[in-house]
Amino acid sequence: MDETTQMLKELTDANGIPGNEKEARDVMKKHISPYADDVTTDHLGSLIAKKTGKAGGPKVMVTGHLDEIGFMITQIDDNGFLKFQTVGGWWSQVMLAQRVNVMTSRGNITGVIGSKPPHILTAEQRKKAVEIKDMFIDIGASSKEEAESFGVKPGDSVAPICDFTIMNNEKLMMAKAWDNRIGCAIAIEAMKRLQNEDHPNELYGVGAVQEEVGLRGAKTSASKIEPDIGFAVDVGIAGDTPGVTENDAKAEIGKGPQILVYDRSMVSHKGLREFVTATADKHGIPYQFDAMSGGATDAGSIHLTGEGVPSLAVTVPTRYIHTHAAILHKDDFEHAVQLFVEIIKGLDADKVNEITYDS
Catalytic residues: 211
What's the DSSP call for residue 128? S
User: Nearest to residue 291, comparing CAs of 316, 319, 258, 243?
Assistant: 258
Q: What is the secondary structure of 232-289 as a DSSP string?
A: EEEEEE---STT--TTT----TTS--EEEEEETTEEPPHHHHHHHHHHHHHHT---EE
- Residue 114 CA: distances (Å) to CA of 128, 139, 157, 233, 260: 16, 10, 17, 34, 37
Burial class (CB in 10 A: 0-12, 13-18, 19+), 280: buried
- Residue 291 φ/ψ, nearest 5 degrees: -135, 145
| 234 has binding-site annotation | yes
Contacts 24+ apart (CB under 8 A), 109-112: 109/139, 109/150, 109/151, 109/152, 110/139, 110/161, 111/82, 111/137, 111/138, 111/139, 111/140, 111/158, 112/137, 112/138
Specify whether the CB–CB gap between 82 and 137 falls below 8 A. yes
Q: What is the DSSP letter of 119?
A: G
CB atoms within 10 A of CB 34: 10
Instruction: Please state, in angstroms and rounded to a whole number, the distance separating the CA atoms of residues 152 and 66.
Output: 24
37 is in an annotated binding site: no
- Phi, psi values for residue 148, rounded to 5°: -65, -35
- 68 annotated binding-site participant: no
Give binding residues for Zn(2+) as ranges: 65, 179, 212, 234, 322
Give binding residues as ranges: 65, 179, 212, 234, 322
